[in-house]
Amino acid sequence: MMKLIILVMYLVGNMIFVCKHKHLLIVLLSLEFIVLSIFFFLLMYLMMINNNMYMLMVFLVFSVCEGALGLSILVSMIRTHGNDYFHSYNLLW
């Protein structure tokens, strides 16, 4: 039952990532939701095989670093362009 909930969380996060790709903030939130579902899956898997939880700590550190990097990109994009739309700036210029 828990595996099904985690799978639904992962699929909903991917669906939001694909469908709502115009705003950077929504993309970042969906990525964090996917990371949360992967964290729950790792927690369940490591508890099932009675392994130590050090890998979860490493995963949390990397996910926090990813979130901080995403927020810094969001803030710099809003400061330079005024919004978080992907179509409001041209990457080729």
**Complete domains list, the chain, with CATH:** 2-88 (1.10.287.3510)
pTM of the model: 0.83
Round to whole Å and give the CA distance between 10 and 41: 10
Residue 85 confidence (pLDDT) above 50: yes
- pLDDT value at residue 79: 85
Round to whole Å and give the CA distance between 51 and 78: 43
Q: What is the mean pLDDT of residues 7-14?
A: 94
Round to whole Å and give the CA distance between 30 and 35: 9
